[in-house]
């Protein structure tokens, strides 16, 4: 006669704990992949906006076109550096399919010894926030850099995403200086400052804000 093998209560508890840990780890991988895809999409959009702006300046040049194009080329170089550092080039690798955990046997009626409680489920890892919004404004265009348009007049901004009259707060995170300006014209970037506004937040000798926070405040 064949003898039917059964699992002891201790081995069954170990199988259940392993299945829970495998499912928890898979959830963390999926969350991280979704956030990386969002960051790459934002960088790709910023790159396309700046390339279109340069094309428009070359098609319709004026006295300040050369300066604007040089600034935008510096912005494009920085965006491509961020894309390379974030692994955004080419097709995004698909996460491996999670293996199906073995079907768990129902626990036996007998309780495990008090000295060996079942393994605790690891705490869920909270999602990482790239740029949390500051009080009083919604952070927009995360990952965007900011440069100047070369235009004169009172402090103002131009944008390709917000209607005229929108108020934007631009903060240079390298020196903690900020300015709040109104969108008065259209450009090829999320936020492009004119000369007066850029002077309020720039670092001496620099024509590009690489670490910027852009908030919509009105």
CATH numbers and ranges of domains, the chain: 9-88+132-216 (2.40.40.10)
Place of tokens 């709040």: 180
Q: Is the pLDDT of residue 157 over 90?
A: yes
Angstrom distances, CA of residue 167 to CA of 66, 140, 144, 182, 198: 28, 12, 17, 4, 15
Per-residue pLDDT at 129: 36
| Dist CA 118 CA 12 (whole Å) | 10
Length of the chain measured in residues: 218
Q: Is the pLDDT of residue 197 over 80?
A: yes
Per-residue pLDDT at 104: 60
Q: Please compute, for residue 142, the number of CA atoms within 13 A of its CA located in the half-sphere on the CB side.
A: 14
* Of residues 151, 128, 138, the one with CA closest to residue 214: 138
DSSP 148: B
Which of the two residues, 31 and 140, has the higher pLDDT score? 140
Q: Which of 88-97, 131-140, 198-207 has the lowest mean pLDDT?
A: 88-97
Question: What are 217's two structure tokens?
Answer: 């405040």
> Strand pairing partners for 98?
none
| Dist CA 76 CA 65 (whole Å) | 16
Is the distance from CB of 176 to CB of 209 less than 8 angstroms?
Answer: no
């Amino acid at each position: 006669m064949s003898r039917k093998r059964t699992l002891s209560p201790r081995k069954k508890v170990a199988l259940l704990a392993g299945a829970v840990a495998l499912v928890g780890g898979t959830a963390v991988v999926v969350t991280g992949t979704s956030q990386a895809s969002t960051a790459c999409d934002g960088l790709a959009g910023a790159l396309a906006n700046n390339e279109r702006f340069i094309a428009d300046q070359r098609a319709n040049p004026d006295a300040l076109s050369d300066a604007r194009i040089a600034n935008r080329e510096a912005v494009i170089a920085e965006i491509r550096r961020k894309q390379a550092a974030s692994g955004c080039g080419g097709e995004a690798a698909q996460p491996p399919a999670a293996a199906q955990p073995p079907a768990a046997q129902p626990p036996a009626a007998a309780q495990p010894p008090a000295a060996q409680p079942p393994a605790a489920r690891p705490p869920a890892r909270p999602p990482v926030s790239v740029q949390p919004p500051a009080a009083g404004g919604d952070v927009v265009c995360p990952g965007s850099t900011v440069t100047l348009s070369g235009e004169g007049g009172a402090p103002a901004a131009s944008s390709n995403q917000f209607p005229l009259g929108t108020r934007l707060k631009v903060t240079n995170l390298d020196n903690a200086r900020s300015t709040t300006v109104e969108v008065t014209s259209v450009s090829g970037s999320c936020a492009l400052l004119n000369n007066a506004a850029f002077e309020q937040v720039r670092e001496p000798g620099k024509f590009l804000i690489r670490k910027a926070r852009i908030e919509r405040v009105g």
